[in-house]
Amino acid sequence: MSAEPDGPEDRLRRFATIWSRALFPATATSLTRPELERQLEPLARRLRDALAERPFRAATGESVGAALVEADCTEPETLSRTLDVVDAYLVLYCGAQGEREELRARCARLQHAVAAGFARALRERTLAEQEAISRAALAARGTVAEALHASEARFRAVFHGAAIGIGIADLDGTVLEVNDALVRMFGGLEHQLRGRNVGEWSHPDDSPHVWKLYEELVRGEREHYRVEKAFYRPDGTVLWTNLTVSLLRDADGVPQYQLALVEDTTERRLLHLRLRYEATHDALTGLPNRTLFFERLEKALAAGKGARFGLCYLDLDGFKAINDSLGHAAGDRLLVEVADRLQACATAPGEMVARLGGDEFVALTTGPDTERGVDELAGRIMHALATPISVDGRELTVRGSIGIVEGPAADRGAAEVLRSADITMYRAKHAGGNRCELADPEADARAITRHGLTTALPVALERGEFFIEYQPLVHLGDGSVRGAEALVRWLHPQHGVIGPDRFIPLAEHTGLIVPLGRWVLEESVRQARTWQARHADAGPLRVNVNLSPCQLTHPGLVSDTVEILERTGLAPGALCLEVTESALIGADDDLLKPLRHLAEMGVDIALDDFGTGYSNLANLRRLPVSVLKLDRAFTQGMQHYPVDPVDLKIVEGIVSLAHSLDLAVTVEGVETGAQADQLRELGCDTAQGWYYARPGPPDRLHELALADVL
Ligand code: C2E
Ligand code: CA
Ligand code: CA
Residues in the chain: 710
Question: Ligand 1, atom 23: nearest CA belongs to which residue?
Answer: 669
Q: Which of 90-99, 185-194, 443-452 shows the lowest mean pLDDT across its residues?
A: 443-452
Spatial separation of the C-alpha atoms in residues 14 and 1, rounded to whole Å: 19
Q: What is the CA radius of gyration of the chain?
A: 39
Instruction: Assess contact for 116 and 65: CB atoms under 8 A.
Output: yes
Spatial separation of the C-alpha atoms in residues 373 and 356, rounded to whole Å: 21
Cα distances (Å, whole numbers) of residue 255 to 176, 196, 262, 663:
15, 20, 21, 112
State in Å: Cα 609 to ligand 3 middle.
Answer: 4
As assigned by CATH, the class of the 462-709 domain is alpha beta
Q: Which ligand is nearest to the CA of 629?
A: 3
For residues 685-710, average pLDDT: 82
pLDDT for 604-656, tens place per residue?
999 998 887 655 666 788 889 999 999 888 888 777 667 777 778 888 888 99
Is the pLDDT reported for residue 152 higher than 90? Answer: no
Before 642, cis peptide (omega within 30)? yes
Question: Ligand 1, atom 19: nearest CA belongs to which residue?
Answer: 669
State in Å: Cα 187 to ligand 1 middle.
Answer: 84
Q: Which ligand is nearest to the CA of 508?
A: 1
Q: Which ligand is nearest to the CA of 500?
A: 1
Residue 487's DSSP bridge partners are 469
Q: Mapped to the 3 state alphabet, what secondary structure does 383-404 carry?
A: HHHHCCEEECCEEECCEEEEEE
User: What is the position in ligand 1's atom list of the atom closest to the CA of 524?
Assistant: 41
Q: Which helix (H) or strand (E) holds 610?
A: strand 604-610
pLDDT for residue 141: 64
Instruction: Assess contact for 349 and 367: CB atoms under 8 A.
Output: yes
User: What is the position in ligand 1's atom list of the atom closest to the CA of 499?
Assistant: 26
For residues 322-329, average pLDDT: 85
State in Å: Cα 532 to ligand 3 middle.
Answer: 25
Alpha helices by DSSP H, listed for 313-413, are: 319-326, 328-345, 370-386
pLDDT for residue 605: 96
State in Å: Cα 581 to ligand 3 middle.
Answer: 10
Neighbouring residues of 469: CB distance < 8 A, sequence distance ≥ 6:
486, 487, 489, 695, 696, 697
User: What is the position in ligand 1's atom list of the atom closest to the CA of 548?
Assistant: 44
Q: Which ligand is nearest to the CA of 517?
A: 1
Q: Confidence class of residue 411 from pLDDT cuts 50, 70 and 90?
A: confident
Query: With 0-12 CB in 10 A as exposed, 13-18 as middle and 19+ as buried, what is 694?
Result: exposed
pLDDT for residue 509: 83
Q: Which helix (H) or strand (E) holds 650?
A: helix 645-660
State in Å: Cα 671 to ligand 3 middle.
Answer: 15
Give ligand 1 pocket residues (Cβ under 6 A): 471, 486-488, 499-501, 504, 517, 520, 546-548, 578, 608-609, 632, 668-671, 688-690, 695
Is the pLDDT reported for residue 447 higher than 80? Answer: no
CATH topology of domain 285-439: Alpha-Beta Plaits (3.30.70)
State in Å: Cα 578 to ligand 2 middle.
Answer: 6
pLDDT for residue 472: 95
**For the whole prediction, is pTM greater than 0.75?**
no
**Phi, psi at residue 173, to the nearest 5°?**
100, 0
User: What is the position in ligand 1's atom list of the atom closest to the CA of 520?
Assistant: 41
pLDDT for 467-484, tens place per residue?
999 999 999 998 899 999
Q: What is the mean pLDDT of the chain?
A: 86
- The most confident of 252-266, 365-379, 607-621, by mean pLDDT: 365-379
Is the pLDDT reported for residue 404 higher than 90? Answer: yes
Is the pLDDT reported for residue 274 higher than 80? Answer: no
Question: Ligand 1, atom 38: nearest CA belongs to which residue?
Answer: 487
State in Å: Cα 609 to ligand 2 middle.
Answer: 7
Question: Ligand 1, atom 10: nearest CA belongs to which residue?
Answer: 695
Is the pLDDT reported for residue 329 higher than 60? Answer: yes
User: What is the position in ligand 1's atom list of the atom closest to the CA of 471?
Assistant: 14
Coil, helix or strand at residue 685: coil
Question: Ligand 1, atom 11: nearest CA belongs to which residue?
Answer: 695
Spatial separation of the C-alpha atoms in residues 662 and 112, rounded to whole Å: 69
Coil, helix or strand at residue 449: helix
State in Å: Cα 497 to ligand 1 middle.
Answer: 14
Domain ranges in the chain are 8-122, 164-270, 285-439, 462-709
Spatial separation of the C-alpha atoms in residues 606 and 663, rounded to whole Å: 9
Which is it for strands 238-249 and 255-264: parallel, antiparallel or unpaired? antiparallel
Q: Which of 461, 474, 487 to mutate to test the pocket of ligand 1 (most atoms within 8 A of CB)?
A: 487
User: What is the position in ligand 1's atom list of the atom closest to the CA of 688?
Assistant: 15
Instruction: Assess contact for 311 and 363: CB atoms under 8 A.
Output: yes
Spatial separation of the C-alpha atoms in residues 545 and 525, rounded to whole Å: 9
Alpha helices by DSSP H, listed for 248-366, are: 266-280, 290-301, 319-326, 328-345
Question: Ligand 1, atom 37: nearest CA belongs to which residue?
Answer: 487
User: What is the position in ligand 1's atom list of the atom closest to the CA of 508?
Assistant: 44
pLDDT for residue 575: 97
Query: Following CA atoms 186, 190, 192, 195 in sequence, which dihedral angle do they give, to the nearest 10 degrees?
Result: 130
A 10 A CB-CB count for 621 gives 10
**Amino acid at residue number 258:** Q
For residues 542-551, average pLDDT: 94
Say what percent of the chain tops pLDDT 90: 44
Q: Which of 168-182, 336-350, 531-545, 592-606 shows the lowest mean pLDDT across its residues?
A: 531-545
- Where does 164-270 sit in CATH, by number? 3.30.450.20
Q: Which of 627, 668, 690 to mutate to test the pocket of ligand 1 (most atoms within 8 A of CB)?
A: 668
State in Å: Cα 668 to ligand 1 middle.
Answer: 9
Q: Confidence class of residue 528 from pLDDT cuts 50, 70 and 90?
A: very high
Question: Ligand 1, atom 33: nearest CA belongs to which residue?
Answer: 546
Q: What sign for the dihedral angle of Cα 581, 586, 591, 592?
A: positive
Is the pLDDT reported for residue 4 higher than 50? Answer: no
